[in-house]
Structure 1
Amino acid sequence: MPELIEQMYCSQQIVIPPKFPYILKRYCKAAIKTQPYDLLRWSYEYFKALAEHREPPVKLRLEYPVYSTEGGLTRGCLKVLANQLSGMSEVPLPVLKNAWQGFCLDPHELKRVLCLCEVYLREETVPFLHFIAVAGGLLTKTLTHTMILLCETLTKEPDGGSAAIPVNEFLTMYKFLAKMDASKDVKYFNGYKEGETPQIESYVEEEQSEPPVDEENDSLSDDYWQDTRDLQKLTLINDHVARSRGLSVKLNMPIVGKIERSPSIERAGQIERENYLRERKGCFVL
């Protein structure tokens, strides 16, 4: 018990960080202006953005009466998202997803927007103007009201001004929205419209390698037939070889009788002995 008494704190012992009241005050104002659906989740995203030196998901002012949609997206959220992503012409999908979750918006609504932008399960980035145009189109009923909302969202002028934006940005968003047919509901399967066949990427097939050839024999045959200085062409007629000047000397010689074989050395010696014996007897025979 004495240890517990020594650990007791009084008002003089409690030290409050100097910036804590300021941080808490800003947090309360941000929560009141934003009116998040999930306060705990939004609080996590709010302080995470402050720790990473990013713009927190806080609306510029309170929307009253509270404007609610099926996915949770409102005009105030769209304005803040445009400010957070305005520095990128092509927004990576992970960055967009983090910004979308900062307002605790429905992830299925984000998939719907990406399908309309024709990038869901196709690309890793989405054009900034296309995303803002489609998201703004979900908050209005006509194309005219959509373009007015987009001008108010992307303008850099103060409130109450003319809400002017560059002409090229206006035309890009208008042409993209004008191509869409909003008269009927469209179903999407894996990011593609119903009845639309996905584009199959054509891959270049590798050429099949030819079977190995004996280079030695191949080179020998090629070299042999290329060098024709000592060769002559032979024409076969009726299975007989035509005689030519360079074919053979024997083939050009006339054939007379039969060619007798010369006697062997043993037979020649025997004939010489017989002639010698006859010579001694006096009856030499040529």
Structure 2
Amino acid sequence: MAQVEQYAKAAIQTQAPDLLQWSADYFTAVACGDTPPVKQGQERGPWSKWKDLTPELLKVLHQRVGGRLIISADELAHMWKSLNLPKDLFASVMDVGGFTEEIEWLKFLALSCSPIGVSIAKTLKIICEVLSGDHNGPPRIPFSTFQFLYTYIAEMDGEISASHVSRMLNYIEQEIIGPDGLIKVDDFTQNPWVRLE
């Protein structure tokens, strides 16, 4: 795994209150060949700051973004603050995603869902629930959106090969997606042939 990808994953897992200091400690440890200061996912207990972020709040945030693909960092920060979400959480997602003044909303959403979902399949399930406009059936989104998000999350994770991602996407597109072009959560969580990780 590339060092930047390892750093991104470690930053999401650890959620250090002082990201700059933690980053300095992280890279110092790596340079010295020591174990970096990383909390594993299971170490984040019920008092983790990520508890303040829920799929429901992300759905409200998504509605406020209003279907835009790009949003300014200032406007998104204001929306985030209006939902009383922790500022350092926002800063962490911005840092891990390498976002600047203009933010690709779907990428920001994907990174925001990652710590809640922990695994790629659960993260994509949460994203589908946030993005889905269906109220009368299972959450579903366009396959093209799923393809974009799965590829991005797998790249950020860094532990899944591009060839595996490509095989899974080809299988889903050829064997699962119907004429409506939509993918349901069960299509990638309940199908034994689909292994996203």
Q: TM-score range by the shorter chain?
A: 0.5 to 0.7
Matched with 1:163 is 139
Matched, 1:127 2:85: no
TM-score for the superposition, normalised by structure 1: 0.37
Contact 1:90 1:127 in 2 (8 A): yes
Which of 1 and 2 has higher RCO (CA within 8 Å, sep 6+)? Answer: 2
The structure with the largest helix share of the pair is 2
Give the whole-Å Cα distance in 2 for the aligned partners of 1:75 and 1:147: 11
Q: Give, as a single letter, the amino acid of the residue that structure 1 aligns with 2:102.
A: T
Matched residue of 1:87: which SS? Answer: coil
Dislocated runs of 4+, deviation >2 Å: none
Give the whole-Å Cα distance in 2 for the aligned partners of 1:86 and 1:142: 27
TM-score for the superposition, normalised by structure 2: 0.53
Matched with 1:204 is none
Instruction: Give structure 2 stretches of 5+ with no counterpart.
Output: 1-45, 160-197
Give the whole-Å Cα distance in 2 for the aligned partners of 1:101 and 1:134: 17
Matched, 1:84 2:64: yes
Matched with 1:94 is 74
Encode CA deviations 1:177-223: one digit per residue, 9 max, x unaligned: 1012378xxxxxxxxxxxxxxxxxxxxxxxxxxxxxxxxxxxxxxxx
For residue 137 of structure 1, report the CA deviation from its aligned partner: 0.7
Matched with 2:179 is none
For residue 69 of structure 1, report the CA deviation from its aligned partner: 4.5
Q: Give, as a single letter, the amino acid of the residue that structure 2 aligns with 1:165.
A: I
Encode CA deviations 1:228-284: one digit per residue, 9 max, x unaligned: xxxxxxxxxxxxxxxxxxxxxxxxxxxxxxxxxxxxxxxxxxxxxxxxxxxxxxxxx
Contact 1:117 1:126 in 2 (8 A): no
Give the whole-Å Cα distance in 2 for the aligned partners of 1:100 and 1:171: 26
Q: Give, as a single letter, the amino acid of the residue that structure 2 aligns with 1:176.
A: Y
Correspondent of 1:173 among 121, 137, 149: 149
Matched residue of 1:157: which SS? Answer: coil
Matched with 1:144 is 121
Matched residue of 2:90: which SS? Answer: helix
Give the whole-Å Cα distance in 2 for the aligned partners of 1:86 and 1:69: 29
Matched residue of 1:91: which SS? Answer: strand
Give the whole-Å Cα distance in 2 for the aligned partners of 1:89 and 1:157: 20
Give the whole-Å Cα distance in 1 for the aligned partners of 2:110 and 2:49: 18
Matched with 2:95 is 115
Give the whole-Å Cα distance in 2 for the aligned partners of 1:181 and 1:145: 14
Larger radius of gyration between Structure 1 and Structure 2:
1
Identity %: 24
Encode CA deviations 1:141-171: one digit per residue, 9 max, x unaligned: 2101111111111001005x12111111111
Q: Give, as a single letter, the amino acid of the residue that structure 1 aligns with 2:123.
A: T
For residue 68 of structure 1, report the CA deviation from its aligned partner: 6.9
